[in-house]
Amino acid sequence: MIEVEQLHKHYGSTQAIKDVSFSVEKGEILGFLGPNGAGKTTTMRILTGYLPASSGTARVAGFDVHEQSMDVRQHIGYLPETPPLYGEMTVEGFLHFVARIKGVSAGDRPKRVDVSIQQCGLSDRRKNLIRKLSKGYRQRVGIAQAIVHDPPVIILDEPTVGLDPRQIIEVRNLIKSLAGNHTIILSTHILPEVSMTCSQVAIINRGQLVATDRLDNLMEHLTGGTYY
Ligand code: ATP
């Protein structure tokens, strides 16, 4: 569903990512793990088709992110680190607005908005103004806007940053509930976030991947095997 080959990105003289390659199968959650400045957001933004790579290729849902960026945007849901939520809109008003921008037909919009509200546990907040919601609920709205057009691929950039422990657990459970129907990349700098939520992991440091594997294989490797 996602194939990345030898991506490089320079910002002037800064090499943000170097020779990044990985793939994600349909229905899996890849944890993209690395410290601040490692190159996670740069990689995510290239996959969304908004940021051109300096070299290398990436395909999302069968579309080339550079050559077919409009198609990629229709097939991807993106939650940036700071999602652009309109505080003066209600939850459902905002989701209708995003669905229209994402090309959902007028006939399909009410159903798609209802489904994403339900999936994200927002049913009792649908008439609320976004600015009146807690951080945890605002992040659910961020995820709802990412899935409102029912994209096969979802990219979540540090989705639990700034949340309290209870909200973190709720958002992680929500993300896990979306796997299977969606293929997900979740970027984070927190190892437990990956071990609790993801089936695959790619570890990035200073712009280069240092490991990519299924989570169970990697944990076994890190701990030196399973002992009874
Ligand atoms: P964070 O968790 O802090 O967002 P990150 O892993 O997402 O970090 P990136 O934001 O992709 O990392 O940054 C990778 C490198 O590229 C860093 O050295 C950063 O300073 C640099 N960088 C990112 N965006 C730009 C830009 N627009 N111009 C110049 N350098 C940039």
Best CA proximity match to 158, nearest among 202, 194, 205, 122? 194
Ligand 1 centre and the CA of 56: distance in Å? 18
What ligand 1 atom has the least distance to the C-alpha of 43? 11
pLDDT of residue 221: 62
Mean pLDDT by 10 residues, the chain (228 residues): 96 95 94 94 94 95 91 92 89 96 94 96 96 94 96 95 91 90 93 90 94 80 50
**Number of neighbours of residue 35 by Cβ within 10 angstroms:** 10
CA dihedral 105, 64, 12, 185 (to 10 degrees): 70
Q: Residue type at 174?
A: L
Residue nearest to atom 16 of ligand 1 (CA): 16
Q: Which two tokens stand for residue 26?
A: 């349909």
Ligand 1 centre and the CA of 16: distance in Å? 6
What ligand 1 atom has the least distance to the C-alpha of 207? 14
Ligand 1 centre and the CA of 39: distance in Å? 6
pLDDT of residue 69: 86
Taking the C-alpha atoms of residue 73 and residue 99, their distance in angstroms, rounded to an integer, is 13
> CB–CB of 31/218 below 8 Å?
no
> Does 34 sit in the ligand 1 pocket, CB within 6 Å?
yes
> Does 152 sit in the ligand 1 pocket, CB within 6 Å?
no
pTM score above 0.95: no
**ipTM given for this complex:** 0.95
Q: Which residues contact 12 (CB under 8 A, 6 or more apart)?
A: none
pLDDT of residue 216: 81
69 exposure class (CB count in 10 Å sphere: 0-12, 13-18, 19+):
middle
What ligand 1 atom has the least distance to the C-alpha of 204? 6
CA 174 from chain center: how many Å? 12
Element (H, E) at 72: helix 69-74
Ligand 1 centre and the CA of 206: distance in Å? 10
199: which DSSP letter? S
Q: Which residues contact 92 (CB under 8 A, 6 or more apart)?
A: 113, 117, 126, 127
CA 75 from chain center: how many Å? 13
Pocket test for ligand 1, best of 9, 11, 44 (most atoms within 8 A of CB): 11
pLDDT of residue 228: 37
